[in-house]
Amino acid sequence: MYQGGYLEIRDVIATDAKQIAHIYNHYIQSTFISFEEESVSSQEMSARIEHVQRQNYPWIVALHDDEVIGYAYANTWKPRSAYRYTVEVSVYLSHQKAGKGLGTQLYRQLLERLKANRYENAIGSIALPNHASVRLHERLGFSKVGEFVGIGYKFGEKRTVGYWQLDLQSL
């Protein structure tokens, strides 16, 4: 349960793009959690949301006092048809709202929607080290299945990416 008060979770709408970009840009500019290196405009975020929605994947947002404070979505894991029942999932929170149960609540709703839509596997990619994200994924039943060492560069340093998998039918 979210410890920050009343919380509404709903499907994303076009006007959420600006607040979502603001949340995401914090991670681009200040962390290695995202491997993007340039900030994303609200127009670019709007295009990304539309892309996910056109594929009929869920994208949900959490609101507190009408402000988007977190979001979660699914996207294509790999484009080949053999992977059609597997998705990659992501969750991002306003950095001021982390550690209050919001990520768990968002992810649970996203995973339930994916299961209801007959997806079978969810993949979480985590830039390491990231103890909070690892705990979140493992708390929800994900298991670590692999790691690519030093695969990316951010802020002039090599970064490792770990992969966690969840069998959605086990929910």
For residue 131, the 8-state DSSP code is: H
77-93 pLDDT tens trace: 999 999 999 999 999 99
The series of mean pLDDT values per 10 residues for the chain, 171 residues long, is 72 97 97 96 98 97 94 97 97 86 94 97 97 96 98 96 97 90
Looking at CATH, the fold of the domain delimited by 8-170 is given as Aminopeptidase (3.40.630)
Contact 12, 92 (CB under 8 A): no
Percent residues over pLDDT 90 in the chain: 89
Q: Show me where the domains of the chain are located.
A: 8-170
What is the rounded distance in angstroms from the CA atom of residue 156 to the CA atom of residue 16? 32
46-67 pLDDT tens trace: 999 999 999 999 999 999 988 9
Dihedral angle of Cα 151, 121, 84, 33, to the nearest 10 degrees: -30
Helices (H), the chain: 17-30, 42-54, 102-116, 131-139
